[in-house]
Structure 1
Amino acid sequence: MSTTVLDRPQASSKPTTAPLLRDGRTSIYQPEQPGLIFPEKPVFEDVAAERQHLKERLVAACRAFALEGFDYGFAGHLTVRDPEHPELYWTNPMAVHFAQVKVSNLILADHKGRVVQGRHAINRAGFVLHAAVHEAHPDILAMCHAHTTYGTAFAALGRPLEPISQDAAAFFEDHVVIKDEAGQVAVEEKAGMAVCDWFKDVKAAIHQNHGLLTASRHSIEAAAFWFIALERCCKQQLLVEATGHKPMLVSPERSRYSREHVGSEYIGWLHFQAIYEHIAETQPDMFR
């Protein structure tokens, strides 16, 4: 098997940030030809503008999860760290469908699970898992978790994804399988502490008998897209294995090359821009 199931957190040999290209670009997908329309990360005049931007992207991520069918009652939580008060994070409100999340009903909470802004309650499981990771890893800006069909099914196997495709290679040596607290609902704070150390230098985790989690040191957009991608990869691997035939795997060298060029935080952010523009145009109520 090409990716190791870790029984305890280990340091990754993967670089934490993608190296710049010789011409200063972050990615080969950025156009070399000047003057073309292409998404660029915004520059903010003040922290209020940056906060509004983050909240709108968090709402869009929730709406994207609704479009993907990731809803399961009140389960599922997405978080992004506040730009001015990094000890606080914005998250979706408890018992509100992903499709009904909007800027006005987001809540701001601290690492103790106390809501400091907003009218809704916080999801206890979301606080336990996300707050522990945010507090233990100051570099992690955003996290996503939902109870999805294929991710939950694949998590029952207790093993990592194999690089069966270019898409799956984006997670090669960049995800872990967590066995701690497997299958037990995370409502006790000790459960969050058992999980948080696993997120060192990886963007995704498969929690055995539970489901998928993603974390980003770049943006909520990257965390959301890589969650969508991870669910898709779990579905694809389950479909391949259902044929009864052993898949041909991408070699470790080619998997690392693909991960570097199509599995970076920046690429996750870039993928999400198309999703954001579609949702912002078709669901303007998100801004209310």
Structure 2
Amino acid sequence: MAPSAISDTSAAGHSVQEIPTINGKEKTPLEAISQGDVLPGIPTFPTYAAERRHILIHMAATFRHWARQGFCEGQSGHISVRDPEFPGLMWMNPLSRHFGMLRAGDMLAVEIATGRIAAGNPNPATGLRTANAAGYWIHSAVHNARPDIHAVCHAHTRAGRAWSVFARPLDMITQDVCTLHDRHAVYSAYGGIVFAADEGKRIAAALGARNKAAILMNHGLITVGETVDEAGFLFGLMDRSCEIQLQVEAACASGNLEKQIISDEEAAYNCKMANEANVLYREAQGDIEYEIEAAGGEAAIAKGFETLQIDSQKA
């Protein structure tokens, strides 16, 4: 039997899909992805305390997922989330506590302007309240530069570090990476371990006013979002895309294979449908729910939250 011809369905002139509509109105990305009942988006809460509890539980679950993915590297790596009631505070993970052990009650509230620890329980291993100083300088700079975002994720993953040495953005070579089409940047400098404000400000400037991710040369990856769920999902997507890019580059090294790049028009369509905050929140829920279940349920992963006290006079 003769081999089948390859169907060229992506030839020049192939039109990009139209945004689906309902009753003459464009569907939201969640409506478009849902067949049957429409999936819920970012939840709302009756009180700041309820919202804070939800955020810190999901923050802890995101860290536990990171541990499962092998994103740990000693004491490196941090997530911050702006407090819903006191926007001058951001919640961060304690330094030197394994991602896979974190609970809501382990998180520390750090004053963005000064670095002061405004709330949090002592680390059970050290008896101290200690955040990552480099993390503070990076995250405070990003939160100051981007009032539109509420969460920042940064870690030193294997694939992220490997691709970062080329100081190149990711190619649009898969449907999934198109979520970051024209929404990720490259910080093509390296200023050493971040022990002062200047390097954090340069990273924030490289991220820019609208990007959701950046590749930090010789360093790692950073992502941002309206929720910790969004930023955490984008971080995993970014890391996997770096790994795929490295595999594709290695496969192409012989010169016998050629990358097929998704067109800007098609990539922009994918991004419009996949990069919306409610969709990205929902994308994260499978992993979040798995980690909550694996931890023993919501009460177990929320442990210690009830003892967290913010001094509202100083917040």
| TM bracket (short chain) | 0.7 to 0.9
SS, match of residue 249 in structure 2 = helix
Which runs of 5 or more residues in structure 2 are unaligned? 1-18, 123-128, 304-315
Of 128-137 and 260-269, the range deviating more from structure 2: 260-269
What percentage of residue pairs aligned between the two structures are identical?
32
1:49-68 counterparts in 2 under 5 A? Answer: 49-68=50-69
Change (3 A) 1:109 1:262: same
Partner of 1:5: none
Q: Tell me the CA shift for residue 104 of structure 1.
A: 1.3
User: Which of the numbers 260, 265, 270 marks the counterpart of 2:272?
Assistant: 260
Asked if 2 retains the 8 angstrom alpha-carbon contact of 1:175 and 1:203, the reply is yes
Asked if 2 retains the 8 angstrom alpha-carbon contact of 1:124 and 1:187, the reply is yes
Matching of residue 230 in structure 1 with residue 233 in structure 2: no
SS, match of residue 44 in structure 2 = coil
Asked if 1 retains the 8 angstrom alpha-carbon contact of 2:167 and 2:188, the reply is yes
Higher Rg of the two aligned structures? 2
Partner of 2:117: 115
Matching of residue 70 in structure 1 with residue 71 in structure 2: yes
Matching of residue 128 in structure 1 with residue 154 in structure 2: no
Matching of residue 151 in structure 1 with residue 160 in structure 2: yes
Partner amino acid for 1:198?
A
Q: Tell me the CA shift for residue 37 of structure 1.
A: 7.7
SS, match of residue 75 in structure 2 = coil
Aligned mates of 2:31, 2:249 — CA distance in 1? 33
TM-score normalised to structure 1 length: 0.87
Aligned mates of 1:72, 1:27 — CA distance in 2? 35
User: Which of the numbers 236, 242, 246 marks the counterpart of 2:258?
Assistant: 246
Asked if 1 retains the 8 angstrom alpha-carbon contact of 2:31 and 2:39, the reply is no
Aligned mates of 1:227, 1:147 — CA distance in 2? 11
Task: Kindly tell me the number of residue pairs found equivalent between the two proteins.
Answer: 267
Partner of 1:287: 302
Matching of residue 98 in structure 1 with residue 110 in structure 2: no
TM-score normalised to structure 2 length: 0.80
Partner of 2:281: 269
Aligned mates of 1:147, 1:186 — CA distance in 2? 14
Partner of 1:3: none
SS, match of residue 93 in structure 1 = coil
Asked if 1 retains the 8 angstrom alpha-carbon contact of 2:41 and 2:281, the reply is no
Which structure 1 residue ranges, 4+ long, deviate > 6 Å from structure 2? none
Partner of 1:162: 171
Q: Tell me the CA shift for residue 30 of structure 1.
A: 4.9
Partner amino acid for 1:234?
C
CA deviations on 1:244-271 (whole Å, 9 max, x unpaired) are 2331110111111111112333222111
